[in-house]
Each structure stands twice: as C-alpha cells, then as structure tokens.
Amino acid sequence: MTYDVAVIGAGIVGSAIARELAGSHLSVALVEARSDVGDGTSKANTAILHTGFDATPGTLESRLVARGYHLLGEYAAATGIPVERTGAVLVAWNDEELAALPGLKQKAEDNGYHECELVEADEVYALVPALGPGALGGLRVPGESIVCTWTTNLALATDAKRRGAVVLTGHRVGSVTAGEQHTTLHTSGGDIEASWVVNAAGLGADHLDSAWGHRRFTVTPRRGELFVFDKLARPLVPLIVLPVPTSRGKGVLVSPTIYGNVMLGPTAEDLTDRTATGTSEAGFEFLLAKGESLMPRLLEEEVTASYAGLRAAIDRPDYLIDVDPADRYLLVGGIRSTGLTSGMAVAEHVVGLLTEAGMDCRLRPDLPPPPQMPNIGQAGVRPFQDAARIDADPAYGSVVCFCERVTAGEIRDALASDLPPADLDGLRRRTRAMNGRCQGFYCGAAVVACLERSMAPGEGDGRG
C-alpha cells in the first residue's frame, strides 16, 4: 500500500508525530531501523521534564519546550507515565555564577516561566543538606520534574499503533526514490511507499536529509555519560541540583531518578562516531571529580550502573524543522537536549506545518482512549505492593527481579503488550527487570527464560 505519511524514526519525536497524525484519517507508517521503538537517544538521557526556563528566548526550541512541558505533563497524567514534581535548585559555586543568577531569572521570565526564585546559600543547604561546601546562592525552579523517558516513548508509540499507525521496526531507510505522486523508501525490511515523508531520524537525520538533495546541516553526536547510584543514596537528593548552564550545555547535575536512584551527569563530549554509546574512563574521572565537589557524601554510595547517550547536536543554535511541499517532505532536525520534553509539541508543530501545506490532519471523532501504561516509577503503587491486584492475579505477587521488585505478572504483560520487547534491553525498559543493584546477576536467568518462552514458536507472543 501507499501510506499517506511515513515517519522515519521511532524515538520520542517520531512516535509523537506518528501518534498525532494517526489521530486523523491519514494512513501512517512509523519506520524504525532498530528492532524496538525508543532504542536510540530517547532511551538514554537525564529524563527531566524541563520547564524551558533556561532556553534561549525567542527560539523555536524555547516555544516548543514550554509547550511540551504542559502537553507531556497532561499526557502523563492521562496514561500513567511516571512523573515526580520534585522541583530543582540551580546552584552558584563562585562569584561569577552568583552574578549570573538574576540574569537567569530574567531569562526564565522572558521564556514565559515566572516561578523562579533567587535563594540565599543557607536556603540552598536547607533544600539539599548533603550538598558540598562552597555554594554561594541559588535559583529555585519549582516546576522542573523527573519523568520516565522509556514509558513516554512507549506510550506515544503504543498510542500511535492503537490509532492505526503501522509500526515497522527493523526497517532502516538506506536510500530514497522520489516520484511524482509518492516517495519510495528503500529499507532493510523492504520498500515502503508514502505520499509524504517526515524525517525524525535523530542522529541520522542529516544523512537522510541528503537523500532529498539537501546539504543544510550536520549532526555531531555529543556524548553524555552518567552514573546511577544505588537507591540508598536517594534521601541525599530530594530535588534536582543544577549547575549554572554554559554555552556548552546544561552542565553536570545531580538528580533523583524516577526509579528511586540518584544520577550524576551528563558529560558533554563531541564525537564523530554516531554509535559511540559506550562509557569512557575519562568520562568516569570527570564525573567523579564533579561529584566530589558537588556532593562528596554521594560518592560514598555505590554506583549501580553507568550509561551514555548521544545528543543530536547540529551546527545552528535552534531546532531545524522545515517543510518542503514540492517534495512532500518534512525535516525535524537538531532536537538536541530537550526532545523528551518537547516531543509532543514538536508533533503539534509538525501537524500545523503539514496542514498549512494542504494536508487534512483534523482529528477523527472515534479515537481510542490513551493507553494505560504500567507504572514502573518508584513513587506510585507497583503491582508487588497492591494486595487486591495480587489477590485477583497471583502473578503480580510472584517477584522475579528482587532488586527492582518486578513480578512475573508485569513481565508477562510486557511480553503480550501492543509493542512487545524484541530483546532483554527492551524488557528492562518496560519493567525495570535487571536494572537494580545486582544488574541481573540473580534474576537474569529467570528473566531470560520468560523472554525465551514468549518467543518460542507457538507461544503466541502477541508480536506484530
């Protein structure tokens, strides 16, 4: 068939766009190179729902982050995506940073965010008693929140599928043939024809863009490495502790995670290899030195994991979203370090551009309700804590992963869901299994057995 629209890239941005478009009468394909949705940059970030207080005023990014903050906040409440409204404090460690705080407050106001408040050093320590010595003052940002990036991506892609989008994982777009009426995407999973194409390929967006003859931007993978500390560290970090941002980015923060841990990071290192998601010795040393001055007490706690993500940085200071009606093509590029927050607003913006280009994107009246996502956040009630649920279905009382308290019922549900995991990593993102302090040492074999059983021929794993 020829789809009305093919969206390339099933990260948060592409999934949000596919969801929005699939809510209309259009036929939509969500085309993803990897074997799962949300397996690119969207799975490895700092997972903060940004207010956009520190964006550059007047940019498209500033507008879409502010809008996305509200859209994702509302969508999370409707779907059960875990969010914790922790708030943040931005800390000044020297006179120069202290002098910058009033300007940052003004910047927040210019971005339409009016809740920031300058605080003295003693108030900073009252908020975060474990902070290292030397803080001179701070800026409170009460709206900054933590969110589950994995559930966000999965909810958006699941919603897109339930609204009728066809999710094609394992389809890497290699080349493109533009025709009079439709475009053919030549993918590793076969050809796909579509009238319109939206390029939301993240780190690969510039390469794909050149298939339409453009040479307008280059993606530089900017690696961010992070440490995850054990849950025992969580009381040390009741809210997000931010540094004063620089031209290089938002800097190294200490933050609670939605799974009850603490994270320290990210670094910011420009690379050439777009697949370099490994961590490095230099990154570790840098983070340990940062942690030592930010919160020495934190370094006494155990690190349970480390990971790295690649920001799709581009050679211009704003998002690059551009529609080309003659070629029936739309580019979404340079969604660097704010795309988790802005994704739904980017989708809204894209639909606006497509509507202006003549596409009928009006929502259908018969939309399915938003999916109800399993809660994998630490703050909400998890199945192992829910006596009534266990009474009704004992699988929710049968714990498989003890560090993270993941039950057989949750693993079974994930394997039978609309978008089941393709591998262990996908199962981790859906359930938290193997993500705890033992990193699968004790539960690994049992979790693998669940996955293998569901994939065995004749088991009817609901894949598709």
Ligand X SMILES: Cc1cc2nc3c(=O)[nH]c(=O)nc-3n(C[C@H](O)[C@H](O)[C@H](O)COP(=O)(O)OP(=O)(O)OC[C@H]3O[C@@H](n4cnc5c(N)ncnc54)[C@H](O)[C@@H]3O)c2cc1C
Residue pair 206/8 in contact by the 8 Å Cβ criterion:
no
Rounded to a whole number of angstroms, the minimum distance from the CB of residue 358 to ligand X is 25
Rounded to a whole number of angstroms, the minimum distance from the CB of residue 250 to ligand X is 8
Rounded to a whole number of angstroms, the minimum distance from the CB of residue 366 to ligand X is 28
Sequence-distant (≥ 6) Cβ neighbours of residue 384 within 8 angstroms: 390, 396, 397, 399, 405, 407
Rounded to a whole number of angstroms, the minimum distance from the CB of residue 285 to ligand X is 18
Helical (H) or strand (E) element with 105: helix 95-110
> Could you tell me which of 265, 253, 256 has the C-alpha nearest to residue 235?
256
Kindly tell me which of 45 and 407 has the beta carbon lying closer to ligand X. 45
Nearest-angstrom CA–CA distance, 174 and 188:
7
Label residue 434 left, alpha or beta by phi (over 0 means left) and psi (-120 to 50 means alpha). Answer: left
Nearest-angstrom CA–CA distance, 147 and 76:
9
Kindly tell me which of 346 and 447 has the beta carbon lying closer to ligand X. 346
Structure tokens at 378: 């630490």
> Could you tell me which of 341, 316, 463, 352 has the C-alpha nearest to residue 83?
341
Structure tokens at 246: 């620089």
Kindly tell me which of 140 and 171 has the beta carbon lying closer to ligand X. 171
Kindly tell me which of 63 and 389 has the beta carbon lying closer to ligand X. 63
- Identity of the amino acid at 209: D
Write out the residues near ligand X by the rule CB under 6 A. 8-14, 31-34, 39-42, 45-48, 50, 172-173, 200-204, 208, 224, 266, 309-311, 335-341
Kindly tell me which of 148 and 359 has the beta carbon lying closer to ligand X. 148
Rounded to a whole number of angstroms, the minimum distance from the CB of residue 290 to ligand X is 14
Rounded to a whole number of angstroms, the minimum distance from the CB of residue 296 to ligand X is 24
Structure tokens at 119: 């605080």
Sequence-distant (≥ 6) Cβ neighbours of residue 162 within 8 angstroms: 368, 371, 418
Rounded to a whole number of angstroms, the minimum distance from the CB of residue 445 to ligand X is 29
Kindly tell me which of 41 and 407 has the beta carbon lying closer to ligand X. 41
Kindly tell me which of 343 and 370 has the beta carbon lying closer to ligand X. 343
Sheet hosting strand 145-147, strand order edge to edge: 48-49, 145-147, 83-84
